[in-house]
Chains A and B, each alone.
Chain A
Amino acid sequence: MADYPLPQVTELTKPYWDALDQGHMVFQRCNACANAWLPARQECPNCLKADMRWEKASGRGKVVSWVVYHSAYHDAFKDRLPYVVALIELDEGPRLMSNFLGAREALRGDLPVTLVIEREQGFALGKFKAA
């Protein structure tokens, strides 16, 4: 099995990956201004305060855009071609990169999607399928 490019878990990002491991997605919300975002950071990018909490996402969102890889930039993806990387907007607002699972023919702008947890070498990743 090819060496998989797993995320580098840090103190900052551990709650995010731990949540996926437990079956749901979380995002950060500012206690001062209620702004919500991903990926994890140490200050709110709206009000700049360092006072935030992790909040559970519904797991629902929509496809903003996507690309299809027909060649692999890493050996771990050679057997998965073609695969889709999609830009997802969660219902709660934060945006993230992920994979779209299922038939590519179903893809369209703003397609409603829902979270699916898939594991790579035991590590939980948050992917999406058509809702």
Chain B
Amino acid sequence: MRGKAVIAGVGHTAFGKLPGRSTVSMNVEACRKALEDANIPKDRVDAVFVKTPSSARELMYGQKLTEALGIQPKMNFALDQGGAANISLISIAIMAIDAGQIDVALVCYADNPRSGDRAIYSRPRGDDAAYGWFSTAAGYAMIHQRYLIEHGARPEHFGAVAVACRKHGAANPNAQVRKAITMDQYMASPWVVDPLRRDDCCLVSDGGAAIVIMSAKRARELGVDKPVSILGFGHGNTGWEVPLRPELTSTLAKTAAKTAFAMAGLGPKDIDVAELYDCFTITPLMTLEDYGFCKPGQAGPFVSDGCIEIGGDLPLNTSGGLLSETGMPGMQLTIEAVRQLRGVAVTQVKGAKVALVSNQGGTMHTHATLILGN
């Protein structure tokens, strides 16, 4: 299936605080912009796949969205899979196109935890709340701590990810936070849940993002400008809650990457730019290892010395990622990869031909990988 489907258009709302906007409204704005970018009318869309909003659960969400979009597509569903859902939905769209079920798909996501309800991020974790076990961050902190134990990593290794993402976000006019930080500022940032510092943690953001998927053939017929080719995708599910995992410092992101690389016929050395899900700094460090960019325990040294900054060997999260552009879970990473391959990114990586995107969700429960080329 390598190269048979393309991303034909991308669109997103402003990122940050958008009070008064419903998630449906933000999805509609993002979809409208993605359709305008692809230069196709909405009545060509025969599938709408949407990631369910995390902060405000609604039944039959996909159907509410198509009502607001004024279309009655062949396929329409909402996926609850955490932050891996966007790439999963892209994959499902490609397979449905390949199976002749649909022609053009909109894949989208919106949420408003910043101006709306963000209780989910500080939630009690079942009966373990009796031991004070609360919040999303704490689960990642538990993995982060085990990584420190097993690999003797230094705080500066995590800091290097934060510094790079904040530097890239500072250059991005659409970023929610445009304030670069130094390593000293990272080290001085207060604990959220030790060993997580504030600057290890992604933003909480309102916003929406959407992309248009179609076959490469249909994109040629419709005269789509600068379609970006989908070379590979893959999935993996660690699935179990953190305390039940036999291993904490590696996940089934390995399987997602292996599948995507095999489909693309490529390996880590072929990647020009990487957009790795950075909900917390431990996540891209482990992703670099699980994806084969470096050996287990070596991600810390790998990200040091500017390697992951623009001009380095592997520019990472070139629009700021979840740490700086928007805390929205994942779609913006694919959109930035598209900009890089179209050659229109603010922090353009010279000659970028192949981009890799990782998505993951829960507390590293779900994993999905996307490889794009131009």
Contact surface of A with B, Cβ cutoff 8 Å: 4-8, 13, 37, 39, 64-74, 77, 80, 82-83, 85, 87, 95-99, 108-110, 120, 123, 125, 127
Contact = CB atoms under 8 A, between A and B. Distances in A.
A109 B149 contact: yes
A31 B193 CA distance: 40
A64 B192 CA distance: 21
A98 B131 contact: yes
A73 B134 contact: yes
Contacts of B142: 65-67, 85, 87
Contact of B149 (A8, A65, A71, A72): A65
B298 interface: no
A72 B191 CA distance: 12
Determine which residue in B193, B195, B196, B248 has the highest number of CB atoms from chain A within 10 A of its CB, and name it: B193
B3 interface: no
A25 to B, nearest CB: 13
Given A67-B141, A67-B193, A67-B195, A97 B128 contact: yes
In order of increasing CB-CB distance, the 5 nearest A-B pairs are: A109-B149, A73-B134, A68-B194, A7-B127, A65-B146
A12 to B, nearest CB: 11
27 contacts: A5-B124, A5-B130, A8-B127, A37-B244, A64-B146, A65-B142, A65-B143, A65-B248, A66-B145, A67-B138, A67-B141, A70-B190, A70-B191, A71-B191, A72-B132, A73-B122, A73-B124, A85-B133, A85-B138, A95-B243, A96-B243, A97-B125, A97-B133, A98-B131, A99-B131, A109-B149, A127-B131
B130 A120 contact: yes
A5 B133 CA distance: 10
A70 B122 contact: no
Contact of A7 (B130, B138, B195): B130
Given A65-B142, A67-B193, A87-B243, A108 B149 contact: yes
Nearest to A5: B129
Contacts of A127: 131
Contacts of B129: 5, 74
A27 B130 CA distance: 18
Contacts of A96: 243
Contacts of A6: 130
Contacts of A72: 132
A128 B367 CA distance: 33
Nearest to B121: A73
B150 interface: yes
Given A64-B248, A65-B143, A85-B133, 16 more contacts: A65-B248, A67-B138, A68-B193, A69-B134, A73-B124, A74-B124, A77-B132, A85-B138, A87-B242, A95-B243, A97-B125, A97-B128, A99-B132, A108-B149, A125-B130, A125-B131
B168 to A, nearest CB: 28
Nearest to A81: B132
Given A13-B127, A97-B243, A65 B145 contact: yes
Contacts of A73: 122, 124, 132, 134-135
Nearest to B122: A73
Contacts of B150: 109
Contacts of B127: 7-8, 13, 39
Contacts of A70: 190-191, 193-194
A113 to B, nearest CB: 14
Contacts of B124: 5, 73-74
Interface in B137-158: 138, 141-143, 145-146, 149-150
A131 B21 CA distance: 54
B131 A67 contact: no
Nearest to A89: B243
A74 B134 contact: yes
Interface string B264-308: 000000000000000000000000000000000000000000000
A37 B245 CA distance: 12
A96 to B, nearest CB: 6
A5 B360 CA distance: 30
Interface string B82-123: 000000000000000000000000000000000000000010
A130 to B, nearest CB: 16
Nearest to B138: A67
A108 B152 CA distance: 12
Contacts of A66: 142, 145
Contacts of B138: 67, 69, 85
B149 A83 contact: no
Contacts of B145: 65-67
A83 B194 contact: no
